[in-house]
Structure 1
Amino acid sequence: MKRVIAGVATALAATLAVSACGGSEDPLAEDQPTGGSGDTITVGSANFPESQLLAEIYAQALEAKGVTVERQHDLGSREKYMDGLKDGSIDLIPEYTGVLLQFFDKSAPQVEAEEVYAALPAALPENLTVLDKAAAEDKDAIVVTRETADKWDLKSIEDLVPHCGEVVFGGPPEIQERADGIPGIKETYNCTFKSFSSLEPGAITTKALLDGTVQAADIFTTDAAIEANDLVVLEDPKNNFAAQNVVPLINKDKASDTVKETLNAVSAKLDTETLLDLNARLNAPDKPEYADVAKEWLGEVGL
């Protein structure tokens, strides 16, 4: 009898041990959450409002699906945060297809949306991948005031070329080296600016343009300041700036089925008009928090 009881106790202990380790015999195993593969996903953003808002949208959408999220907003430029993506200290960040491709392949010839997106996987580091791109596009652009556009009859970058020597050009410091930045503008349009003024993206750049500190500036096409200040975006007939669709860039190890489905659903709801509206909400007089704008929009679209 003692041997029987001991045997039953041993079997029971073994069963409990297997269950505690999450073994395949656990009858509840199929009901366990699968969103983050048991891992925390660290969501980062660049140093401008739209990136921080998109990162917050990604974070809240994932949290709604049971994924544990940590946030690292305002990490700086691509040149700064990419190291974190490579070493795994950051897992996910909103990106833009054209500039992302050119970051890893400065000679990439693709400029159209589908071609750029198709070329990305081969250009990325082994540990990174992109999920579905959104229809939403936010491109770098050369922007001038209405007064300057009227003075020189400017509609495109080509129209600016005869005046480049008179122009102080403003933009983020990294644009001095980027393939589609000052080197690209010079090569594509034979435009050499009088000088360059290093400016933080956003309100600081807009102010410098409006007060005449710079005569042209690199501003994102979805920046609410363009419409609010009647600024003029110069056309880019030679495609110096490639297609820039919003796309999640993620560590492959963190791209579980739930994560992919969630972020792809976000991308499916994002078009350029939506991006313009979201930026306008951020720029409202009451200056709402990124988290509040993200939560409101996710609720509106059922995510």
Structure 2
Amino acid sequence: MNRRRMAFATALVSTAALALTACGGGSDPLDSSSDADSGGSSSSESIIVGSANFPENELLAEIYAGALEAKGVKVSKKLNIGSREAYIPGLEDGSIDLLPEYSGNLLSYLDDKATAVSSEDVFAALPEALPEGLTVLDQSTAEDKDVVTVTKETADKYSLKSIGDMKGKDLVLGGPPEWKTRPTGVPGFEKNYGVTFKEYKVLDVGGPLTVNALKNGQVDAADLFSTDPNIIANGWVMLEDPENQFAAQNVLPIINEEKASDTVKGALNAVSGVLTTENLSEMMEKVTLEQQEPADVAKEFLETNKLSS
């Protein structure tokens, strides 16, 4: 959604909000009146922090929220909003102000003709692709890519090391709804690798439905995230991506420019300065395998890195 497609994105707001209401027990996660403020600051600054609908993004949103509260910013949270089709329009219309993003997927969503793949090139291309009124702040070294993942048994059976090795294997792929049409999903596999699938099963966004489907043999290959501790815990194989279908995916904040004060930028850039792939993976192990609350894990991270006061 570059500037030429802003009108289309905005038109999706009502549809996305309606769908989210149906999934959320009758409340609209983009309605700022539906949650009480989570911070008790007396600062005149206020930020509505959102997240996409998967655990890692919720964790990152909690980290951003905690870092801002520590600087006296009044924070309210609208978590588990949904996919970019829902939350990018929300950022544009002010329903939310801030959200954790992943550089490569964000660029691909905004500009389906983007060719940048390296961290530096993707970050440099984002400002031109962003809708008017939105900006991104410093990116972290933490990176979490989509990875096509198979069990070791499937990898051994079909001699799978890279995505291209799935060509002609008549496999079932599982992943999020968006992968049916996005260039980083099913269309990209055919375009970049000549790979088609016997069936595409719509699951969740790298969450328990996807993990269980792969574990139980309901799918042969699945879209997971490279920081997902289930991959190592189960001995699964992440297929190589030599054609760079998945660009660099550095974690960074996307925010409404009007809310990006020096205080806000300082707090969020400090988070990006200490967030790494390694500590993000460690936190996700606590969230997904140990079933700790994202807010508790975020608080521990901020305290460890002296960002909580």
Q: TM-score by structure 2 length?
A: 0.84
CA deviations on 1:69-126 (whole Å, 9 max, x unpaired) are 0000000111111110110110000000001001110010101110000000000011
Counterpart residue number, 2:253: 248
Secondary structure, in 3 states, of the residue corresponding to 1:101? helix
Aligned match of 1:95 in 101, 125, 129? 101
Following superposition, the deviation at residue 36 of structure 1 comes to 10
Residue type at the aligned position of 1:144: V
Counterpart residue number, 2:45: 39
Residue type at the aligned position of 1:185: F
Matched, 1:146 2:130: no
Q: 1:36 to 1:107 in 2, by over 3 A?
A: farther
CA deviations on 1:257-289 (whole Å, 9 max, x unpaired) are 01001100000101111111110111243x111
State how far apart, in whole Å, the 2-side matches of 1:283 and 1:214 are: 21
CA deviations on 1:168-197 (whole Å, 9 max, x unpaired) are 110000111112111111100011111110
Is the 2:144–2:227 Cα contact (8 Å) retained in structure 1? yes
CA deviations on 1:5-25 (whole Å, 9 max, x unpaired) are xxxxxxxxxxxxxxxxxxxxx
Q: Which has the larger radius of gyration?
A: 1
Residue type at the aligned position of 1:162: G
Following superposition, the deviation at residue 38 of structure 1 comes to 2.3
Q: 1:243 to 1:108 in 2, by over 3 A?
A: same
Counterpart residue number, 2:204: 200
Is the 2:43–2:72 Cα contact (8 Å) retained in structure 1? no
State how far apart, in whole Å, the 1-side matches of 2:47 and 2:266 are: 15
- 1:213-292 matches, within 5 Å, as 213-285=218-290, 287-292=291-296
Aligned match of 2:72 in 63, 66, 69? 66
Q: 1:108 to 1:36 in 2, by over 3 A?
A: farther
- 1:123-162 matches, within 5 Å, as 123-162=129-168
5+ residue gaps in structure 2? 1-40
Is the 2:142–2:276 Cα contact (8 Å) retained in structure 1? yes
Following superposition, the deviation at residue 37 of structure 1 comes to 7.8
5+ residue gaps in structure 1? 1-34
Is the 1:197–1:214 Cα contact (8 Å) retained in structure 2? yes
Matched, 1:168 2:172: yes
State how far apart, in whole Å, the 1-side matches of 2:67 and 2:94 are: 21
State how far apart, in whole Å, the 2-side matches of 1:138 and 1:161 are: 25
Is the 1:36–1:259 Cα contact (8 Å) retained in structure 2? no
- The number of aligned residues is 266
Secondary structure, in 3 states, of the residue corresponding to 1:162? coil
State how far apart, in whole Å, the 2-side matches of 1:272 and 1:78 are: 22
State how far apart, in whole Å, the 2-side matches of 1:219 and 1:284 are: 15
Is the 1:172–1:199 Cα contact (8 Å) retained in structure 2? yes
Q: TM-score by structure 1 length?
A: 0.86
Q: Percent identity?
A: 56
Secondary structure, in 3 states, of the residue corresponding to 1:42? strand
Matched, 1:109 2:115: yes
State how far apart, in whole Å, the 1-side matches of 2:84 and 2:154 are: 31
Runs of 4+ more than 4 Å apart: none
Is the 1:137–1:272 Cα contact (8 Å) retained in structure 2? yes
State how far apart, in whole Å, the 1-side matches of 2:259 and 2:42 are: 7
